[in-house]
Amino acid sequence: MTCQRTTLACAALLLMAIHRQQPHLAASPGPAALPVQLADTGLFVSGTTDVVAAANRPFSPQYPLWTDGATKRRWVYIPQGATIDAGNPRRWEFPVGTRFWKEFSFAGRRVETRVLWKASESGWLAGSYVWNQDGSDAVLASDGITGAVEIIPGRQHNIPSGADCAACHGTTRAPLGFNPLQLSDDRDPNAIHGEPLTKEMMTVRTLVDEGVLTPATAIPQTPARISARDPQTRTILGYLSGNCGACHNGDGQISAQVPSFASADLMDDGDGIARRMMGQPTRWQAPGRTDGTMLIDPSSPDQSALLLRMRSRKPSSQMPPLGTVVQDQQAITAIGQWISEVVRQPGD
Partner 1 sequence: MQIRTTRTFLGAAAFILVSTGLGRAVSSSPGTDTPTAAERVQRGGYLVGAMGCHDCHTPWKPGPQGPEPDMSRALSGHPADFVVPAPPRPSDAWTWSGAATNTAFAGPWGVSFTANLTPDVETGLGRWTADTFIAALRTGRHEGKGRPILPPMPYKMIRTLTDEDLRSIFAYLQSLPPIRNRVPTPVDPEDQK
- Residue numbers at the binding site for partner 1 (CB under 8 A): 3-4, 6-7, 10-11, 14-15, 18, 21, 163-164, 166-168, 170-171, 247, 252-256, 283-285, 287-288, 290, 314-318, 321-322
Q: Looking at the chain, which runs of residues are DSSP E strands?
A: 57-58, 71-77, 84-85, 99-106, 109-120, 123-131, 138-140, 145-152, 155-159, 213-214
Give dist(CA 177, CA 305) in Å, integer.
25
Closer to partner 1 at the Cβ: 160 or 238?
160
Least spacing, CB of residue 54 vs partner 1, in Å: 36
Closer to partner 1 at the Cβ: 164 or 271?
164
Give dist(CA 180, CA 239) in Å, integer.
15
Least spacing, CB of residue 306 vs partner 1, in Å: 15
Closer to partner 1 at the Cβ: 4 or 133?
4
Closest by Cα among 280, 272, 243, 248 to 261: 248
Least spacing, CB of residue 160 vs partner 1, in Å: 11
Least spacing, CB of residue 284 vs partner 1, in Å: 7
Least spacing, CB of residue 287 vs partner 1, in Å: 5
Give dist(CA 229, CA 130) in Å, integer.
43
CA-to-CA dists, residue 285 to 260, 305, 327, angstroms: 21, 9, 20
Closer to partner 1 at the Cβ: 74 or 169?
169
β 99-106/145-152 pair status: unpaired
Least spacing, CB of residue 297 vs partner 1, in Å: 17
Closer to partner 1 at the Cβ: 11 or 33?
11
Cα–chain center distance at 40? 23
Closer to partner 1 at the Cβ: 153 or 315?
315
Closer to partner 1 at the Cβ: 51 or 256?
256
Least spacing, CB of residue 316 vs partner 1, in Å: 4
CA-to-CA dists, residue 225 to 220, 229, 270, angstroms: 11, 12, 10
Closer to partner 1 at the Cβ: 3 or 216?
3
DSSP class of residue 303 equals: G
Per the CB < 8 A criterion, the answer to whether 152 and 140 are in contact is no
Closest by Cα among 86, 52, 339 to 211: 86
Per the CB < 8 A criterion, the answer to whether 226 and 234 are in contact is yes
Least spacing, CB of residue 128 vs partner 1, in Å: 16
